[in-house]
Amino acid sequence: MASDKFSPSPSSSGLGAWLPALFMALLSVSLMAVDARFGLGPVIRAYTSELASPVWWLASRPKALLQGGIDAMNTNAALHERVTRLERERLRSDLALQRLIALQAENAELRVLLKVQTERAPGSRAVELVNVNPEPSLKRLVIGAGRRQNVRVGQVVIDAGGLVGQVSEVYPSSAVVIAITDADHAVPVMVARSGFRAILFGQGNDNRLSLANLTPSDDIKAGDVLLTSGLGGRFPPGIPVGVVKTFRQDPALTFLSAQVQPFARTGYGRHLLLLDAVPAAPAAAAAAPPAASAPATPKPAVAEAKP
């Protein structure tokens, strides 16, 4: 029985199997000949590489992304460490700068005090301010010199601007200074321009003093400079105290009061000048009573006070 399927002969099937191989061999030889003759190989390879570059790029992305993530983490850690180190260095630099500014301010203050000591108060010495009374109305200062440094009650304290106060209490290594701005302190003063004398009272305020019981006929006006008058023997004469700012009428319309701004800046600086000479105490206050066996009249303290 005849079959309806086609069965190729053995010879035809063998030649058909070799035709593709022969074609590829001929094509290869032809391309080699063309490449050797015209140099097309580099051009073809260049175009082929350009066409294949997206494939290479996609194939390399996972590794590149992984390495990029690792590098980014390492970079962030290094940057964080560097920022922390720089922050510490900045804080140290700021602290050193603040110390330098403080030293410069202290040196400037000491230079001014040295100039005042040389020109206006040769008999004085610099003392350090170590404490301030926290009570607002009590203007008491503590200096770092006391009985061991020959500090005595009544010694006058000044700064580069003018009168600060006087020593009221003395301890072995420190002393208390009552400032002229204390509410319980009073200073005999005189107007530098006219010579008018008055009593200047503290108000418990570092920036304000008061002249009370003034009359319209008193020769004093705004802008007048007040100096210590030397009356009473408590303060040496001629020390700058303050300047008159404004006047105020009392409610009784009888007297005037003047507001005075002190020259001394008790709220600033760390050093003051202590006058070595203790002013003589007032004769009326320091006179001693006569002894029972000696009816002689008492001598005033002015004659007995040591310079």
DSSP 6: -
Domain that holds residue 134: 124-281
Q: Are residues 176 and 107 in the same domain?
A: no
Which has the higher per-residue pLDDT, 297 or 255? 255
In a domain, 163, yes or no: yes
The per-residue pLDDT for range 177-211, each reduced to its tens digit, is: 999 999 889 999 999 999 999 999 999 888 899 99
Q: How far apart are CA 183 and CA 250, in angstroms?
A: 19
Q: Are residues 263 and 217 in the same domain?
A: yes
Q: How far apart are CA 216 and CA 253, in angstroms?
A: 11
Q: How far apart are CA 191 and CA 193, in angstroms?
A: 5
Work out the angle at residue 183's Cα, subtended by the Cα atoms of residues 179 and 184, and round it to the nearest 5 degrees.
80
Mean pLDDT on 228-254? 86
Q: Are residues 257 and 141 in the same domain?
A: yes
Beta pairing partners, 102 = none
pTM of the predicted structure, to 2 decimals: 0.58
pLDDT at 142 (0 to 100)? 93
Q: Do residues 142 and 175 make contact, with C-beta atoms less than 8 angstroms apart?
A: yes
Residue with tokens 């900045």: 90
Q: Are residues 83 and 189 in the same domain?
A: no
The per-residue pLDDT for range 44-81, each reduced to its tens digit, is: 777 777 777 777 777 777 777 777 777 777 788 788 88
Lowest-confidence pick of 39-43, 188-192, 248-252, 302-306 = 302-306
Residue 90 has pLDDT above 90, yes or no: no
Mean pLDDT on 147-158? 92
Residue 14's pLDDT band (boundaries 50, 70, 90)? low
Q: How many domains does the chain have?
A: 2
For the chain, helix (H) and strand (E) counts, in that order, are: 4, 12
- The full length of the chain comes to 307
Q: Are residues 72 and 134 in the same domain?
A: no
Which has the higher per-residue pLDDT, 29 or 180? 180
pLDDT at 278 (0 to 100)? 58
